[in-house]
């Protein structure tokens, strides 16, 4: 069911779903010409042993296949008050080396890319893609590394949507 919240009245169910808090993250996968970078918000830790992160990605986004091919991804946590990363990645997924131009980065030994202006990062090894017959697939990654960056935005964004029918 697709609802246009700018035209259709919002059902109480969608308003309630919009109150589920999430964060804002920049997902990086691949490297060189196969690099892809995009903003994601449907992210959750789903297990402790091993540590597993779930990221829901729209089925039309090519980054999901790239994650499968490259074997992993880095989830960069956007800090509260940061506008630089949001401005660069909010509108569309970017690809290739130019997608990280003008952004301070660190390349991990396995090729993963950490955005140094994010408040933190989590490197995951791809585990599984789950197709649950919706507009998004769920990608699971086992956490292998992570850390906090030295930025003025040390607290993560907490994102509350107007309603559950839109990002």
Top-confidence residue, 105 or 4 = 105
Mean pLDDT of 124-146: 97
pLDDT tens-digit series, residues 43-79 = 999 999 999 999 999 999 999 999 999 999 999 999 9
Return the structure tokens found at 135.
Answer: 């507009």
- Percent of the chain clearing pLDDT 90 (strictly above): 71
User: Is a pLDDT exceeding 70 seen at residue 5?
Assistant: no
Return the closest-CA partner of residue 36 out of 130, 133, 134, 139. Answer: 139
Question: Does residue 50 have a cis bond before it (omega within 30 degrees)?
Answer: yes
Which pTM does this prediction carry? 0.90
Top-confidence residue, 83 or 138 = 138
Q: What is the set of domains in the chain, with CATH numbers?
A: 22-148 (2.30.110.10)
The Cα–Cα gap between 95 and 31 comes to 9
What's residue 167's pLDDT? 75
Q: Which residues contact 83 (CB under 8 A, 6 or more apart)?
A: none
User: What are the backbone dihedrals phi and psi of residue 150, each rounded to the nearest 5 degrees, phi first?
Assistant: -85, 90
């Amino acid at each position: 069911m697709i609802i246009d919240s700018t035209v259709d009245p919002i059902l109480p169910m969608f308003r309630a779903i919009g109150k589920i808090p999430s964060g804002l993250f920049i997902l990086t996968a691949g490297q060189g010409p196969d690099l892809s970078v995009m903003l994601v918000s449907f992210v959750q830790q789903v297990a402790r042993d091993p540590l597993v992160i779930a990221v829901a990605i729209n089925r039309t986004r090519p980054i999901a296949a790239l994650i499968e091919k490259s074997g992993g991804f880095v989830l960069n946590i956007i800090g509260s008050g940061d506008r630089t990363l949001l401005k660069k990645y909010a509108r569309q997924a970017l690809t290739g080396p130019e997608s990280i131009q003008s952004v301070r980065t660190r390349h991990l030994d396995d090729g993963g890319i950490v955005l140094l202006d994010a408040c933190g990062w989590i490197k995951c090894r791809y585990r599984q893609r789950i197709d649950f017959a919706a507009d998004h697939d769920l990608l699971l990654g086992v956490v292998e590394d992570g850390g906090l960056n030295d930025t003025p935005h040390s607290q993560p964004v907490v994102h509350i949507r107007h309603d559950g029918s839109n990002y």
